[in-house]
Structure 1
């Protein structure tokens, strides 16, 4: 199922179910007009760093045959997901700042809700797949190539995409059944599902139940898989005979653990901040942490902490064409 088909599907359903709503208004991070140029420059820089950093990771992995392994296949897909995740939210915010407009169409808002949920879910499952890959590599090194064969890797990626797509489509379709009144201001820089539901003037009980139930399952199952994998990894480290083997085990897991802590740490930070504060602006600022910061930091974490990635990036950046 292509992204173009999904967008057409949402557009068609939005036009059929639209309840007189044409435009939502994204209030952004600040309404201070003097702060807008600073925010524009900051987020443009962050977005360019995200694009460049993750594209370099993808190009380095694709150009180096030594990195054509399951671990780096998952990493390449994670970088692509980070690019898509940030592209779903940041460009619209930049356009709104530049044009001094806060509007986003009803269809555009629903489309943004869908893709934010899908790419956040996909990143969640890819991190779990990477944890399983490290578990097999360290606990069953002799059987690694047999267990983590290309078919299994492709299956894990496709399954992650399918579950994330179904989850996002379910929530988006449930939003379509809601009726909206006149107060259509979203105190955020993108159409976040929870904020959109709050604007509805019809009954949102089913929507809220699904948000807590489905999101809880989709979020907790991969996290439990990651925790289980690392419990097994830690328990197997004393059985590794050489110091070099222990160092290699820690070095291959260090980058992934850093990314996991960054992703889940920022997500939990937003959840806690929304629970303890009633300020929508503070929640919007906190949401930057999980929508923008992880995609920006992931390339640095993998390029600085991983020896193979550093070597591949050096080859990519310093490679010169031959004119012989």
Structure 2
């Protein structure tokens, strides 16, 4: 695998309480979109450099945890604090006990972080622009400038964004844009989550600055727009433990494969397999490369035929194992 740099402006510290035979099982990790992407890419064997703001005692703990995972960190420190949350999953669903969003980056902090991303991006050749923990952490226009400057420096720029950050990045130009169907509808670019409405929205995204567009659709096949061709990405739907992080894992797989020189369709296959495995696990952005590579055998990319799409097939673990063993 190749090298990837991630712009992760606001990592968070996560505390999750699980049930283990009637006892509280407490897990402490660094989290946030950029962290989950970095974790999956590292599992796939990519060389990952994460550029982010790590401030206060929360930030120091989060940075330590990220480095412990083997991920290179280029950090900016300041007088504020990173965000954090405490979630209780003992009842089966996430219950929010406490959340802190973290501070807005100052002008000097943003300038420092911007410089780190450009420098690391030039060295890596592939960059992911990930979103902030909340609105207002960084100015939206930072995404336009980063997309433009990284592209000028010869980087493959991958954006996993929504809302104002998405619009800003499009103005700068991106190589690959990944977005979920609900985010596309919420932005007003698509009038409904139906495929017949998503396709023209994808074509408009391409007109506005995205060379390739991937739209994820939960249990339905994802859609891919590349060089004016629309494809459907089919993957058996595995039994879900936690759906969060699947889209970030898909982005990570795509980025890792592109950084290694794979063509876009192979990259999408790897990303789809990574996202599919992630939903079967409690940890966000987690998985092992061998299992993901096996799952790529189940991913099918077919031409889009128009109209509605059938839901992805649900597979039990036993059925999945049988299918993977088939020659």
Mark the structure with the bigger radius of gyration: 1
Structure with bigger strand share is: 2
Q: Is this a same-fold pair by TM over 0.5? A: no
TM-score range, shorter chain: under 0.3
TM-score (normalised: structure 1): 0.24
Structure with bigger helix share is: 1
Q: Which has the higher contact order (CA 8 A, sep 6+)?
A: 1
TM-score (normalised: structure 2): 0.24
